[in-house]
Structure 1
Amino acid sequence: IVGAGPAGLATAARLQQARVPFVVFEREVTAGHSWRTRYPRLHLHTVGASSQLPGWPFPDHFPEYVSASDLAAYYDGYARTVLAPHVRYNATVTSAKPAADGKGWSLRVSIRTADGAVQWRRYEAAALVVATGQEGAPVIPPIEGRESFEGESMHSAAWRGGAKYAGKKALVVGFGNSGAEVALDLWEQGAAGVTVTARSPIHVLPRWLFSLYPHGMRSLLYFERFLAPIWLSDAVGGLLQRLLYSDLPSAGLQLSRAGVKSELLRHHRAPLLDIGTIELVRRGEISV
């Protein structure tokens, strides 16, 4: 398994339960490392019941929506407690090729030792799981004049909080979940003016909606998978959006007419889960 993030750890847990031998390679010194580098106010949008790993519930003191720092500690604790003998840290898989006999895989792995030296090893495996994440490489579109812009410019992956922007103006390009939360963070930290730009119509739903299900997203996904066709999920999502957010076009935000569930399944476009940004847009405290 390449990567000790949530997908890699969950896969490892199921293999361990099935008594299938495995090894997890993690290039950092801790599991779930990417969650350690996020901005302070970041929390999950899914409730705890649907976000924890197999066999290890979240501690009772965790809030309903877990913070990035708590999640990072939880993932690392899981790796070092539940999966301890199987995880290799400071281990980077540099190549994976079909084995010479056509059965399984041959992996080349570089391992950094405590003194900084690099050791190279080969591993043979019957199966390979790539769990390196889908959003690790920032996509920055070409923006004319960005190189000569005298202010600070960054991708949301580099965002570490809005405290140093108190009293300053800020423009957030993009109004998905990251953009909306960065805009909210800027406003909370006292930015003098926050403006967001939205290229396309958006889907928006309140985060609290997913707390209504007794087991969080798990029961919702079960309902949609076995009891409700996609068109019904699209219809319900569209109705909720019209009931709760029909006033947004007057504030400059256009609502998408495409199906919420269809967009998620076919194009990996998740709806904006509102945690307070929309009310600030309505009040004109965040401009569009």
Structure 2
Amino acid sequence: MTQHTDVVVVGGGQAGLAAGYHLRRQGLDFVILDADPAPGGSWQHMWDSLHLFSPAQHSSLPGRLMPAQPGETYPDAGHVVDYITDYEKRYDLPVQHDTRVDAVRPDGDHLLVEADTGTWRARAVISATGTWSRPFLPTVPGRSVFTGRQLHTVSYRSPADFAGQRVVVVGGGNSGAQIAADLALDGRVEVTWVTQRPARFLPDDIDGRALFDVATARRRALEEGRSDTGGVASLGDIVAVPPVRSARDAGLLNVRPMFTRLTADGVRWPDGSHSGADAVVWCTGFRPALAHLAPLNLRGPRGHIPTDGTRALSEPRLHLLGYGDWTGPASATLIGVGRPARDAVQQIARQLST
């Protein structure tokens, strides 16, 4: 049986819940369909030592400040999961967990949302599935012949899994730096950190608060027709959170340029030398999880769907939220998703009132 509603939100992580908060305030009928069996979004799948870049009061969803975590300046992932779980309950958001959306299709003046638990007919859809479920692995010579363990960021948990091993960590972003530091500080793992270009650390006094301010200033400059400030990318790639800073200052984060290929038992360097390795951790990023939107035929360059703000240009009943700056400045962050979520819901409310 097909169910009817004003809006279907696909994804119940931070972006989906921010949208739900504003949909509730607008008085619209909606449902949030989430593939995870429990609240918490991607935060429930993070590695053990992960902490936010910002203090709790600067990491909040709309309407509800994140409480501080006792003994921690920067809350850990478990604290974020608890906050998101409480947020979902506090605002009585209609989240259906353990519900995977397979396809969104046009259906006359509505959109048909097909899930493994049933079908919904909606006047608008907000896609908020994020990127965590679509890890990216680069094409590297020899990857198929390497006999050691290979895993992506999504599968990394703790140094205990690699005690006594030689581990190559690939990736020059925050995940690569944090996982390399996590392994190096443990002392039981021989770590080699590899990046495509020299690691660029942001100044030590920069955290998520400053990054959000920089992203906001860039958005305002672009909206006012002024020169692009470059945003966060102009400052560097890696936030020097305390563990990363400790490992760096102890001389444990020495970066090597990218190897030319994997061998059966290690890596081959540009100068022809070889290093043995038992495992490779690919901290090589993600792609937007948009397979459910394939029936709409909207994909553009780099796998992105062209948008005006959050609204899909070729399908105005569809909004995309939380995938990165192309769907709103800093919209992939807890504090940053609030504004684009509000703007998307306001547009939907105006559209549905006509």
Return the TM-score normalized by structure 1.
0.73
3-state SS of 2:57 partner: helix
Q: Identify unmatched segments of 5+ residues in structure 1.
A: 112-120, 238-258, 262-269
The answer to whether 1:55 aligns with 2:59 is: no
Quote the sequence identity (%).
26
Q: 1:99–1:41: structure 2 CA closer, same or farther, 3 Å change rule?
A: same
1:198 aligns with 195
Answer yes or no: is the 8 Å Cα contact 2:43–2:78 preserved in 1.
yes
Instruction: Mark the CA change 1:147 to 1:3 in structure 2 (over 3 Å): closer, same or farther.
Output: same
In 1, distance between residues paired with 2:212 and 2:253? Answer: 34
Bigger mean CA offset, 133-142 vs 3-12 = 133-142
1:260 aligns with 2:229: no
CA distance in 2, matches of 1:285, 1:210: 22
Deviation at 1:279, TM superposition (A): 5.9
Q: How many residues align?
A: 242
How far apart, in 2, do the equivalents of 1:197 and 1:225 lie?
32
Question: What CA distance in whole angstroms lies between the structure 1 residues aligned with 2:112 and 2:197?
Answer: 44
> In the TM superposition, what is the alpha-carbon distance from 1:39 to its structure 2 partner?
0.8
Between the aligned partners of 1:142 and 1:232, the Cα distance in structure 2 is 33
Specify which of 226, 234, 238 is matched with residue 272 of structure 1: 238
1:24 has 2:21 as partner: no
**Residue 76 of structure 1 is aligned with which of 63, 81, 85?**
85
Distance 1:61 1:181, change over 3 A: closer
Task: Determine the C-alpha separation between the residues in 2 that align with 1:219 and 1:144.
Answer: 40
**Distance (whole Å) between structure 2 residues aligned to residue 195 and residue 46 of structure 1:** 28
The 2-side partners of 1:47 and 1:200 are apart by: 30
Quote the offset at 1:104 in angstroms: 2.7
**Is the Cα contact below 8 Å between 1:176 and 1:272 reproduced in 2?**
yes
Structure 1 partner of 2:74: 65
The 1:287/1:73 distance shift into structure 2, 3 A limit, reads same
Assess if the C-alpha contact under 8 Å between 2:53 and 2:239 holds in 1.
yes
Partner of 1:117: none
From 16, 33, 36, the counterpart of 1:8: 16
**Where does residue 285 of structure 2 map in the other structure?**
none
Q: Deviation of residue 224 (structure 1)?
A: 4.2
Of 120, 123, 128, 1:123 maps to 120
Among 237, 242, 253, the alignment partner of 1:286 is: 253
Distance in 2 (alpha carbons) for counterparts of 1:221 and 1:156:
25
Partner residue of 1:106 out of 85, 104, 112: 112
Structure 2 runs not aligned, ≥5 long: 1-8, 256-354
Per-residue CA deviation, residues 64-102 of structure 1 (Å, 9 max, x unaligned), is: 322111111221221133134x111222222211222xx
The separation in 1 between residues aligned to 2:143 and 2:212, in whole angstroms, is 43
3-state secondary structure, aligned to 1:76: helix
Q: Residues of 2 paired with 1:125 and 1:285: CA distance? A: 53
Tell which has more relative contact order, 1 or 2 (C-alpha 8 A, sep 6+). Answer: 2
Distance 1:233 1:149 in 2: 39
On the 8 A contact 1:93/1:108 being kept in 2, the answer is: yes
CA drift of 1:26 comes to 0.8
Q: Do the aligned residues in 1 keep the contact of 2:51 with 2:76 (CA within 8 Å)?
A: yes
Quickly say closer, same or farther: Cα 1:169–1:80, change in 2 above 3 A: same
TM-score (norm 2): 0.61
Cα distance in 2 for partners of 1:207, 1:7 equals: 28
Deviations 1:137-176 (A, max 9, x none): 1111233333443332211211011123233322111221
Deviation per CA, 1:12-50: give whole Å up to 9, x if none. 101111212211001222122421121111111133233
Residue 114 of structure 1 corresponds to none
